């Protein structure tokens, strides 16, 4: 079993972890985010039942946690946007969509040979 830590140590470690998480989110280092999440879960499991002043210390970390959550939400929106853009590009490469004079969409499948013909 893990050695118990003091309330001060637990709060300091969580504070440091939130700072590292913010830096990783700003730098876009998603591999570090996964590691930090594991560390955060383990640390939260080890936190003693906090009362009085220690509870106040945890409350001071709430702002950092909320800031990091906003950064993480933004990162996820960006990742989804890129994934949607790639899906659109794949769809465009597979066919050509045009509209006729009546506004009807027509799709023409792309040929397997995607080479440009050069003429002199």
Per-residue pLDDT tens digits for 31-68: 899 899 989 888 877 776 665 556 666 777 888 999 99
52-56, 72-76, 108-112 — which one is most confidently predicted on average? 72-76
Mean pLDDT along residues 19-41: 91
Domain that holds residue 97: 7-109
Report if residue 33 sits inside a domain: yes
Q: Of 66, 62, 16, nearest to 40 (Cα)?
A: 16
Name the DSSP class of 4.
P
User: Distance between CA atoms of 48 and 63, rounded to whole angstroms?
Assistant: 21
Q: How far is CA 74 from the centre of its chain?
A: 7
Report if residue 69 sits inside a domain: yes
Report if residue 43 sits inside a domain: yes
Q: Which residue has the tokens 């079993």?
A: 1
Report if residue 96 sits inside a domain: yes
Report if residue 118 sits inside a domain: no
Into how many domains does the chain fold? Answer: 1
- Model pLDDT, residue 119: 78
Write down the pTM of the prediction: 0.66
Report if residue 117 sits inside a domain: no
Report if residue 114 sits inside a domain: no
pLDDT band, residue 25 (cuts 50/70/90): very high
- Model pLDDT, residue 115: 65
Report if residue 120 sits inside a domain: no
């Amino acid at each position: 079993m893990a050695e118990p830590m003091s309330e001060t140590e637990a709060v300091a470690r969580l504070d440091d972890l939130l700072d590292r998480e913010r830096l990783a989110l700003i730098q876009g280092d998603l591999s570090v985010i996964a590691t930090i999440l594991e560390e955060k879960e383990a640390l939260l499991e080890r936190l003693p039942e906090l009362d009085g002043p220690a509870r106040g210390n945890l409350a001071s970390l709430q702002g950092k946690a909320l800031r990091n959550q906003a950064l993480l939400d933004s990162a996820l929106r960006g990742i989804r946007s890129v994934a949607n853009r790639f899906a659109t590009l794949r769809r465009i490469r597979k066919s050509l969509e045009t509209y006729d004079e009546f506004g009807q969409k027509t799709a023409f499948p792309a040929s397997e040979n995607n080479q440009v013909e050069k003429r002199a």
